[in-house]
Chains A and B, each alone.
Chain A
Amino acid sequence: NAGVMQNPRHLVRRRGQEARLRCSPMKGHSHVYWYRQLPEEGLKFMVYLQKENIIDESGMPKERFSAEFPKEGPSILRIQQVVRGDSAAYFCASSQQLGHLFTDTQYFGPGTRLTVL
C-alpha cells in the first residue's frame, strides 16, 4: 500500500521560471493538503483540496501560487515566476473522507525541495 507520493523530490528553477509540484494521495484518500517549510522554520499550511474543489486556500500567497486536484491524476501545486524566497520544502499530505473533522489523521509525502537560483 503505497503512501503519499510526491515528485519531483528535488527541483531547481531559475528566477522567473515556473515550478510544478505533484502529489498523489494514499489509496482511498480524497483530501489533499499542501504545506511549505522554509529553512529553519515550521511547516505552514497552504491549501486544502478535495477532488475538483479548493476547500481552504487561506494559507496560499495571493499571487503566483495556485493549486488543483483534478478528477483524474495527481494534485498540482504551481508556482509562477519563482523568486529566491520560494526556495523551501513543499510537503503534501492526504487524509480520508473525514478531512473536515478534527479527528482526521494526515499522512505526509516525502516532500519536494525547491531551489530557486
Chain B
Amino acid sequence: RKEVEQDPGPFNVPEGATVAFNCTYSNSASQSFFWYRQDCRKEPKLLMSVYSSGNEDGRFTAQLNRASQYISLLIRDSKLSDSATYLCVVNGPAYSGAGSYQLTFGKGTKLSVIP
C-alpha cells in the first residue's frame, strides 16, 4: 500500500469549474499535512497547510479527516494559472521511534485548466 495515495488524474477542466482532489495516507502517526503545487520541471511550492478544522485561502479549501486518514483540496472558479500538479504531503515519523519527521509526498495529480 502506498504511503500517500492520490487520484491518478489528469484532470482537464474548463475555466471557472470547481475541482476536487483527494488523498489518503497510511501512517497513522502523521502529524501535519500540506498541499504543494509543482509546475512542470519546477520545485514544489507550498500551497497551504491542512488543519483538522478545515481551512480556506481564497478559492482554495482544504479538509482533513484524521479518523479516515483522508485529505482533500477544493479549487473553486479555476483559473488557467491553476494548471499544475498538486501534491499531497504528509509530515511524520518514518518509523516507530524515529527521532525526526519526514515529508512523504504523493505522486501528484495533474490539473489542466482549459480556456
* Complex CA–CA separation, A72 to B91 (angstroms): 29
Shortest Cβ distance from residue A39 to the other chain B in the assembled complex, whole angstroms: 11
| Cβ-defined partner of A102 (8 Å) among B31, B95, B107 | B31
A91 at the interface (CB under 8 A from B): yes
- Is A100 a contact of B102 with CB atoms below 8 Å? no
A117 at the interface (CB under 8 A from B): no
| Cβ-defined partner of A108 (8 Å) among B32, B44, B102 | B44
Q: Identify the closest chain A residue to B92 (Cβ).
A: A102
Shortest Cβ distance from residue B50 to the other chain A in the assembled complex, whole angstroms: 12
- Is A109 a contact of B43 with CB atoms below 8 Å? yes
The 10 closest A-B pairs by CB, nearest first: A102-B31, A108-B43, A42-B107, A42-B105, A43-B105, A102-B32, A45-B102, A56-B100, A100-B100, A102-B91
Q: Beyond the given A35-B103, A35-B105, A93-B103, could you list 16 further A-B residue pairs with CB under 8 A, ordered by the A residue number?
A: A41-B107, A42-B108, A48-B102, A56-B94, A56-B98, A56-B100, A59-B102, A91-B43, A102-B31, A105-B49, A106-B103, A107-B46, A109-B43, A110-B42, A110-B43, A113-B41
